[in-house]
Amino acid sequence: MALIVAIATQGIQMMLVLALAPLLTGFVRKVKARLLMRQGPPLLQPYRDLLRLVRKEVVLADNSSWLFRTAPYLIFAATWVAASLVPTFATGLMFSWSADLIAITALLGSARFFLALAGMDIGTSFGGIGSSREATFATLAEPAMMMMVFSVALIAGSTQLSTFSSFMVSPDVGLRVSLALALVALIIVAIAENARIPVDNPATHLELTMVHEAMVLEYSGRHLAVIELAAHLKLLLYASLIACLFIPWGLAKPGATAGDLAIGGATYFSKLAALGLLLGIFETAIAKMRVFRVAEFLGIALMLGLLATLLLFVSRSL
């Protein structure tokens, strides 16, 4: 019986992230539109877009290979697994032993690898430029992410998310400058990875600046729907990662009752709403930066991650 409940909770977690991901994107779009004194598309618009794309015919280029057709599913699978490993409403779920920050980073890295390959597969110049830019940014974003992971892991003594979030609510945490630095580094990496505004603007087709959009320009129909869904999932993943690492209050403990789970779900919703609101405000307040400055922007994240790890060596725990 306990096993069935555990499997069911894990299943709910997986379905929850899948169902919520387009809603979060829609919410951020709505916030941005309202801040510009516009009505904005309805909250459910991303779901409708996905449905419409699924119904449409797939148009493939003559010289596309099998890679081009399989890549969307691989990207989606890796991102979905990564997103469902992050504790959203409860810690200590069935798969939480594998909810390791390094594993999640690796899953996202392989998704990025396939996306860049697919961008180059057709052989158009846009795909190539997008892949090249993505790879350039990745060389800075991934080390920054890893340094963030290391400093967080050194603090909690584990790279497992469940362990870390239960450590964060215990009184052992105290006031640490390393955690603040790691949070800022994670936010910068999240903004860059999700192609949000100062780095990339997926809403435009401007060849001078686009990164993510350039890689998926040749996709259509259900392939595009799957890739879009993976992008929504990635935004949700980073939002829940920030929520789980740095605002873990309200998460249900292992072996929690249904009431605790409900509280966990409600706090998760409010955390996502708060983060989405902040993202929308941030994006309307800031201007898009030049592509060549992105390396500097990500360099700050790397620097903060390194500094967070270094400062740990003079902190109380070590």
Partner 1 sequence: MDQRLIFDVAHFLAGGLVLISFLLLYQDRMFGLLNMFALHAFVLSLSVSWQAFVQNAPHLYITAAIALVLKAIIIPILLRRVVIRLDIHREIEAVGGIGLTMLFGIGLVALSMVVMLHVTVGADRLAREDLALALSVVLLGFLMMVTRRNAVSQVIGFMSLENGLILAAAGAKGMPLVVEMSVAFSVLVAFLVIGIFLFRIRERFDTVDMHALDRFRGEHL
Site residues (vs partner 1, CB under 8 A): 174-178, 181, 295-296, 299-300, 303, 306-307, 310-311, 313-316
Phi, psi of 165 (to 5 degrees): -70, -30
Minimum distance from residue 142 beta carbon to partner 1 (Å): 16
Contact 66, 224 (CB under 8 A): no
Q: Which residues pair with 242 in a beta bridge?
A: none
Task: Give, in degrees to the nearest 5, the angle at Cα 43 between 16 and 212.
Answer: 75
Minimum distance from residue 271 beta carbon to partner 1 (Å): 24
Nearer to partner 1, 169 or 307 (CB): 307
Report CA Rg, the chain.
20
Nearer to partner 1, 95 or 297 (CB): 297
Minimum distance from residue 289 beta carbon to partner 1 (Å): 14
Nearer to partner 1, 131 or 178 (CB): 178
Nearer to partner 1, 45 or 315 (CB): 315
Residues recorded for the chain: 318
Minimum distance from residue 245 beta carbon to partner 1 (Å): 19
Minimum distance from residue 300 beta carbon to partner 1 (Å): 7
Nearer to partner 1, 128 or 143 (CB): 143
Secondary structure of the chain in the HEC alphabet? CHHHHHHHHHHHHHHHHHHHHHHHHHHHHHHHHHHCCCCCCCCCHHHHHHHHHHHCCCCCCCCCCHHHHHHHHHHHHHHHHHHHHCCCCECCCHHHHHCEHHHHHHHHHHHHHHHHHHHHHCCCHHHHHHHHHHHHHHHHHHHHHHHHHHHHHHHHCCCEHHHHHHHHHCCCCCCCHHHHHHHHHHHHHHHHHCCCCCCCCCCCCCCCCCCHHHHCCCCCHHHHHHHHHHHHHHHHHHHHHHHHHHCCCCCECCCCCHHHHHHHHHHHHHHHHHHHHHHHHHHHHCCCCCHHHHHHHHHHHHHHHHHHHHHHCCCCCC
Nearer to partner 1, 6 or 291 (CB): 291
Minimum distance from residue 295 beta carbon to partner 1 (Å): 7
Nearer to partner 1, 3 or 175 (CB): 175
Minimum distance from residue 306 beta carbon to partner 1 (Å): 5
Minimum distance from residue 107 beta carbon to partner 1 (Å): 28
Nearer to partner 1, 258 or 314 (CB): 314
